[in-house]
Structure 1
Amino acid sequence: MLCMLAALAVVPLQYRWFYVQTNLFREEEVGHIEALLQRAAKVGYNGMVITDTKIESLDPYPDFYRKRVQTIKDEAKRLHIEVIPVALSVGYADAMLAHNPNLVEAAPVKDAPFVVHGGVLQIATDPDVRFDNGDFETAQGDKFSGFAFQDGIGIGTFADHQTVHGGKTSLRIENPGALKETSGNCRIMRRVKVRPWRHYNLSAWVKTQDFASASSVRVMALNKDGKAMSFHDVSVTPTADWKRVDVTFDTRENEEALLYLGVWGGTTGKMWFDDAKLEELGLTNVVRRPGCPVKVVTASGRVLREGEDYEPIADPKSGTIPWKGEFEITHPSPPIVLTKSSPLREGDRVKVSWFHAVMTETGKTAICLSEPETRKLEEAELRRVAELFGPERIFYAHDEIRVMNLCDACTRRGISPGKILNDDILFANSVSKSLAPKCERYIWSDMIDPYHNAVPNYYAVNGDLTGSWEGLPKDLIVVNWNSGQAEKSLPFFDKLGHRQILAGYYDGPVGAIKGWLAKGRGLGIVGVMYTTWVGKYDDLEAFAKAAW
C-alpha cells in the first residue's frame, strides 16, 4: 500500500517551460522576450524553448543576430532560466530548404504525354479529363446537373442568378447550419476520370458574406475510397469579394477523383462558388536532385539526353516564392526547350517523367530524409545551433511531417516511412552527442506516437509510420502534446522508458493542465510547457499557478 501511495505522490516538476516563436531580425523582439523572461521568472518557470526560422535558414549568422541571441541568453541566465533552441524543422522545412530548395520531398509524375510545338515540349492535356459544369451554368431549379450529390438542394445550396463570377449562374451556399441531417455539411461533389501518376490543379472562384464557418470551407480531391489526395487549405475569410483558390493533387495509382466544393460543419452566412476548373500540370515546381530524376522518352523508346537533345530543365520560380525555401502552386509550368541538335520535330510526342514539390495546408513542405545532402545540412545546422546557443540542450522539431517516402531516394531504400524517420532521429542524436556527450535532447511526441501521427498513410506519407519510436535512446525526453489520447499516449512512452514534458495550454483553458498532470502521475512526467501558437502570453502566470 505504501508503495502505491509513493508511486502516486506528486513529484515536483523539474522542467517548467514556456514556448516562444520569434523573429530576431526584428530588434523589438529582444525586448519582448526579455519582458517574458522576467514575468516567467517571478512565477517559477526555469526554461524557455525558442524557435525562429532564422536559426535554421541563416549561415553564417550576422553579427547583429548573434548579439540579439546573446542579450537574450544573458537575461535568461541572470534569471536562472535555461534557453532551449529548436532545430531540424523537417516537417515545416522552408527554413532548412532555404539552403537548397531541391531537397524538398517530392512526388512522381510518370509518362505524361508531351508534344513538340514551336521548338519546345508542352504537356498534351487529355480532353477527357475535365470538370464539366464547373461553371454551374446547367441546373434544373436549384439542382446542378452532372454532380454525384449535392447537399440541401433548395435549402442550403441554390442556383444563384444574381451574384456570379462568370456566366449567368453560380452555386450559393446559405445558412448551412439549417441542414440538421448533415450537421451543417453543405457540399457538392463530382466524379471525374483522371490519369494515374499525374499532377492536377483544381481551382474555383469563391465569394463570402458574413460566412461564420469560413475556416471550414474546402476545395479538395478524394480517391474513390474516400482517401484525401489533396491537402491544401483554401484560406477563405468570412466576408470577401471573388477570390480564386487553388489546390493540387497527385493521382498516384488512381483513375478516378471525387472533387468536392463546400463547407463542413457550417453555421450561418452566405458563400458562392463559380468557374471551377481541373487542369493537368506540367513541370511546375520540378525538383532536381539525384533522388528525383527526369526522363524523356520518344515513341520508339529512345531516352533523350538532357543538355544534348533538350536544354537543362529547371523551374526558376520553384522554391523561391515568396522567399527562398518556400513554394507556391499557381505559376506557369516551365517548358522543355529543345536544342538545335534535337531529333524531335514539330508534332512529335514523347513521355516525360519527373518529380515535383509537394505542399500541404497553406504551403507547408517537408525535407527529404533520405537524400544524402539532407544529412549534411542537418549536421551543419546542429553544429551552428550548438555554437550559437551552447551544445547542452537541443529540441528536435520532428513534428507533423506530412510528406515522406515518395521520391526515389526514399523508395529505393525499401524501408517504411517509420524506419526512415527513426533513422533520421538517431542520426540527429548521434551528432548532438558528438558535440556534447551529456547533451540533453527533446523531441515532439506526435510522429513517434502510435496514438497520434505515427500511423499508416498519414496525409501524403507513402506507407506506415509505425515503429518510428523503436530503439530511440531512453534519455531522449518526449515533449507530449497528445492530451486527447493521454490515457494511451502517456503510458506508451513511460513503458518505453522516456521521461515526458507535457506541452499544455495551446491557447485553451488554463486549468486543463491539472487534469492532464493527474492522468500522468507515475508515468514519468517531469515537466510542463506553456505552449502558445498565437503568441498569447496573457495566461503565463495563471498556467504556472495551475501546474505547480
Structure 2
Amino acid sequence: MTCKKVVAGAIASVLALWAAGAAAQECEATCFQKRWVYWGGNLMVTERDSAGRTPFENFNALLPTIKAAGFNGVALNLGGDGSYVQLVNPETSADRKKAISDRIKLAIGNANAAGLEVIPIGGHPELVSQLRPDLMEAFPTTTLYKAQSGVASVVNAGKNLFAEPAGFEVDASGWAVDAFQPTYGAGVEIDPTVGHESARAMRMQSWRALPAGKTWAASRLYRKLTLKPHTAYQISFWLKPGAMTKPEKLQFFIQTADGRPDAPLYRHASQGLGWGSTPDGNWNAEGNTTKFVAQAKAAAAGNPTWQQYNVQFNSGNFTEAYAYFGMYNVIEGANTVWIDDIKLEEIGITHPVERGQGDYVVTRTSDGKVLPSTDYTVNGATLTIHNKDMANADLKVAWRQSPSRMFKGVAAVACDGGDFYRVQENYYANAIAPLFNNQIPKVVTGSPKKYFMYYDEIPVLNWEQNDARCSRRSAGDYLGHMVRGVQNPLENAGVETLTWNDMFDPNMNAIARYYQVNGSLLKTGATTSFKSGNADIDLHPDTVIVNWTGGEELTEAAQTKRRESLLYFREYPQVIALYYEKKDTTTAWLNALTAAYEKEKTLDTPTSLKIDGIMYTTWFNNYGDLAAVAEQIRKSPYAKHWPKPQQ
C-alpha cells in the first residue's frame, strides 16, 4: 500500500471518529487539562517495520486510538535527520528543510483533525552543541609534554600505567574477578588455552540462572585506577567473542571510587562498550558495542578473531576510580568472551574543543613562562615548537577535551550574554513557533503557545569556571540560570513552557554529585522547597513540571520519591509522566498522588498541589496499553479527572 493511501485512510478514520465521538469526549470541568501521549521518533524515515509501515504512517494510524482513550494531545519529540534542529541547521539544504517542515505540518494537521493538540518537545541544551561545537561543554585538561628537537610529545607516551603486564600470562594481579561458577555457567577466570599474543586470557561468561538465594548476579572483571585529576586517558583492550546470543550485553564503564551509579566517570548511554577513537585522534564511525556485535556475528559464522578496542576518558576532579568489564544479571543463552592485553595510558591533545583565543596555554615548567601561540603549532597529539629556546623544554599544556562520545548528550556553555541563548531563541522562533502556534483553536487547551523544553539527564555541565560570565555558586545555580535565560523571553511572549523535573529535583538528579557535572546540582540555599534560595535563578513560576520520578520502578522507595517529588514542586503546575512500558505505574502514581495530598495537610505551609495532567510515556513506541491506562484512571479515585468512554 502506498504512503498516500495509508495516510488518506488514517485521516478519513480520524475524521469519522472525531465527528462521531466529539460530544462523548468533552471533558467535565474537573478533567485534567493536559492528557497527552508522548511520541518520539523520526517522521522522515522511509524504512518500514514488520507491519509494513513507516514511522509517519504509524503516527497517523495511532491518532484514533489516542483520541478514543480520552487523551487530547500528542507531545512530539523528533530526532535524527528529521528533527526540528535540522530546520535551523545551516548545513541542511533548503529542499530538505522544506520536506521536514511539510511533513511536520501534515502530522500536526492530521492530529488536529482527530481532535488532538500537538505539543513540541525540543530545545535541549545539547542542540546548541550540535549547531555550534565550539560552545560544547568540555573538560579542562592539563598534560605534561617533553620537547625534543622541536617536537613535544606526552611524557611517557604509550607507557602502560598498570604496574602489571597488560595480559594475563601469569595471573590476574591488579584485577578482581567474580569467581567462576560451573554450576550456573557464569563468572570470570583465566583460560590457559586462549590468548591474544600468548596462551592465556581472561574468560568471561554470563549468568544463565541465579545462584540459590540470589536475586541479582554479575560476571565482572574490574580494578582500581589511580589517576591524576583533570587528565586525559585511554584504556585499550582486546576482545574475542565465543558463543554469544546477546553480545550487546557486554559493558565497559568507569565508576568513581564511592561506587555511586548516578555519578560514573565514564559511561555511554547507548554504547555499553563505549566509543573508541582512531589512531589519528578522530572518533570511530561507530560505537564499540556496534563493532563488537558485528565481530560476534562473524565469529558465529565461523570466523572468530581478536579485535582491539579503546575508550578515552577524562579524570575530571577525581584521583581514584574503578574500571569494569561486565555482563549483568541473567542473560538468555550462552555468552562467552575473552579479554586480554588491557592497557591504561595518559594521552595528549585529542578531541579538543576550540573556541578561539586561549584554546591552549603552553607553559615551560622550569620557570612558568607562557609561550605565545606563535611559538608552537598543535599537530594532533604533538606540538611543533618554533622557539629554539623551548626546543627541548619540559612543558605543561592546558586545553579543553570534548566529552561528546564519553557520555550521551552534552550541553553547550551558557555564559551571560553568550551565543547559547541566541541559538535557542533562533531555534524557537524559526523551527518551533511557525509550525505549532497556529493549530485549530478547538483542539487547544489553555495557552495556544506551548513549548516542552527538554532539560533532562544532562551528564556534563558547569566546567567553564574560568569565564566570569559563567561563574555561579553551584552547578544548580548555573543550570537554573541557563534555563531561566531561555524561558524569560518565551514567557514574556505568552509561551507556556514545560520541562522534565529530574535535573531540578533532589529526589532524582539535583544532588551533590551527578555524573560529571562540576559541582552540586543542589541550588544554593535549597532546603525542602525548590522555591527557596535565590528567586532570580529559579524556573519561571508558571513553568509546568513534567514529573517522571521513579520511571518504571514499582518499589516502596520509588513510591516515597514520587510522593516527595510531587510535594517538592507543589507550587508549580505538574504533569505526571507514567507508563514506561508498565501499566502498574499508573496505579503507583495515583497512589503516590493520594499520599502527597495527605502529607500536604501536615506541612507548615500547605498549598494545593497543581496537577495539570497525565502523559502516557513510552521510549519503545508501546501504545497498546493506551486504553488500559485510561481505564485504570477511570476506576481510580481520580475518575472525575478523565473523560468517560465513548458510547
| Equivalent position amino acid for 2:338 in 1 | W
- Per-residue CA deviations over 1:381-413 (Å, capped at 9, x if unaligned) read 122222332270100101001111223357861
For 1:72 and 1:497, the matched residues in 2 are separated by: 34
Q: Any conservation in 2 of the 1:19–1:531 contact (CA below 8 Å)?
A: yes
Q: Which residue of 1 aligns with 2:144?
A: 113
Q: Any conservation in 2 of the 1:116–1:344 contact (CA below 8 Å)?
A: no
Q: CA deviation at 1:11?
A: 4.8
Query: Cα 1:89–1:520, aligned 2, differ >3 Å: closer, same or farther?
Result: same
**Aligned counterpart in structure 2 of residue 231 of structure 1, from 267, 271, 288:** 267
Q: CA deviation at 1:119?
A: 4.8
| Equivalent position amino acid for 1:302 in 2 | K
Q: Which residue of 1 aligns with 2:443?
A: none
Q: CA deviation at 1:148?
A: 5.2
For 1:520 and 1:109, the matched residues in 2 are separated by: 46
Q: Any conservation in 1 of the 2:313–2:406 contact (CA below 8 Å)?
A: no
Q: Any conservation in 1 of the 2:549–2:565 contact (CA below 8 Å)?
A: no
**Aligned counterpart in structure 1 of residue 42 of structure 2, from 14, 23, 39:** 23
Q: Which residue of 2 aligns with 1:382?
A: 428
Q: Where do 1:118-133 residues align within 5 Å?
A: 119-125=150-156, 127=159, 129-130=161-162, 132-133=164-165
The yes-or-no answer on 1:426 pairing with 2:461 is: no
Q: Any conservation in 2 of the 1:106–1:356 contact (CA below 8 Å)?
A: yes
For 1:545 and 1:243, the matched residues in 2 are separated by: 52
Q: Where do 1:241-280 residues align within 5 Å?
A: 241=299, 242-265=306-329, 269-280=335-346
Q: CA deviation at 1:369?
A: 3.0
For 1:253 and 1:294, the matched residues in 2 are separated by: 20
For 2:544 and 2:256, the matched residues in 1 are separated by: 39
Query: Cα 1:392–1:336, aligned 2, differ >3 Å: closer, same or farther?
Result: same
For 1:83 and 1:425, the matched residues in 2 are separated by: 23
For 1:193 and 1:30, the matched residues in 2 are separated by: 50
Query: Cα 1:178–1:443, aligned 2, differ >3 Å: closer, same or farther?
Result: closer
For 1:171 and 1:128, the matched residues in 2 are separated by: 18
Q: CA deviation at 1:503?
A: 1.2
- Per-residue CA deviations over 1:310-332 (Å, capped at 9, x if unaligned) read 23x58xxxxxxxxxxxxxxxxxx
Q: Where do 1:108-507 residues align within 5 Å?
A: 108-110=140-142, 112-116=143-147, 119-125=150-156, 127=159, 129-130=161-162, 132-139=164-171, 144=172, 146-147=173-174, 149-152=176-179, 156-176=187-207, 183-209=216-242, 217-226=250-259, 228-232=264-268, 233-234=272-273, 235=289, 241=299, 242-265=306-329, 269-289=335-355, 293-298=359-364, 299-306=366-373, 308-311=374-377, 313=378, 333-339=380-386, 342-343=387-388, 346-359=391-404, 363-370=408-415, 372-384=418-430, 385-390=432-437, 392-408=449-465, 413-434=471-492, 436-437=493-494, 439-467=495-523, 469-470=530-531, 471-483=538-550, 484=553, 485-494=558-567, 496-506=570-580
For 1:173 and 1:89, the matched residues in 2 are separated by: 39
For 1:451 and 1:168, the matched residues in 2 are separated by: 50
Identity of aligned residues (%): 25
Q: CA deviation at 1:198?
A: 1.0
Q: CA deviation at 1:89?
A: 1.4
| Equivalent position amino acid for 1:65 in 2 | I
**Aligned counterpart in structure 2 of residue 35 of structure 1, from 61, 65, 71:** 61
**Residue range with higher mean Cα deviation, 396-405 or 236-245:** 236-245
Q: CA deviation at 1:245?
A: 4.0
Q: Structure 2: 5+ residue runs without aligned partners?
A: 1-27, 47-53, 274-288, 300-305, 438-447, 532-537, 598-608, 635-647
For 1:273 and 1:21, the matched residues in 2 are separated by: 37
**Residue range with higher mean Cα deviation, 471-480 or 403-412:** 403-412
Q: Any conservation in 1 of the 2:360–2:397 contact (CA below 8 Å)?
A: yes
For 1:396 and 1:403, the matched residues in 2 are separated by: 18
| Equivalent position amino acid for 1:474 in 2 | P
Q: Any conservation in 2 of the 1:131–1:276 contact (CA below 8 Å)?
A: no
Q: Any conservation in 2 of the 1:213–1:263 contact (CA below 8 Å)?
A: no
| Equivalent position amino acid for 2:400 in 1 | F
For 2:256 and 2:567, the matched residues in 1 are separated by: 38
Aligned residues, how many? Answer: 506
**Aligned counterpart in structure 2 of residue 76 of structure 1, from 111, 122, 125:** 111
The yes-or-no answer on 1:44 pairing with 2:70 is: yes
Q: Any conservation in 2 of the 1:202–1:247 contact (CA below 8 Å)?
A: yes
Q: CA deviation at 1:115?
A: 2.7
For 1:491 and 1:432, the matched residues in 2 are separated by: 29
Q: Any conservation in 1 of the 2:67–2:114 contact (CA below 8 Å)?
A: yes
**Residue range with higher mean Cα deviation, 475-484 or 533-542:** 533-542
- Per-residue CA deviations over 1:416-469 (Å, capped at 9, x if unaligned) read 0101111122112212123x32x2221111111110111111011121111284
Query: Cα 1:445–1:194, aligned 2, differ >3 Å: closer, same or farther?
Result: closer
- Per-residue CA deviations over 1:192-219 (Å, capped at 9, x if unaligned) read 4433321111222334445577666443
Q: Structure 1: 5+ residue runs without aligned partners?
A: 1-8, 315-332
Q: CA deviation at 1:512?
A: 2.7
Q: Any conservation in 2 of the 1:291–1:409 contact (CA below 8 Å)?
A: no
**Aligned counterpart in structure 2 of residue 545 of structure 1, from 631, 639, 647:** 631
SS at match of 1:229: strand
Query: Cα 1:256–1:543, aligned 2, differ >3 Å: closer, same or farther?
Result: closer
Q: Any conservation in 1 of the 2:223–2:324 contact (CA below 8 Å)?
A: yes
What is the CA RMSD across the aligned residues, in angstroms?
3.2
Q: Which residue of 2 aligns with 1:318?
A: none
- Per-residue CA deviations over 1:140-195 (Å, capped at 9, x if unaligned) read xxxx2x22533215763221133333321111123545666985233333344433
TM-score of the two chains, using structure 1 as the length reference: 0.82
For 1:15 and 1:474, the matched residues in 2 are separated by: 18
- Per-residue CA deviations over 1:20-56 (Å, capped at 9, x if unaligned) read 1122333654333222223312322211111123212
Q: Any conservation in 2 of the 1:106–1:292 contact (CA below 8 Å)?
A: no
SS at match of 2:375: coil
SS at match of 2:512: coil
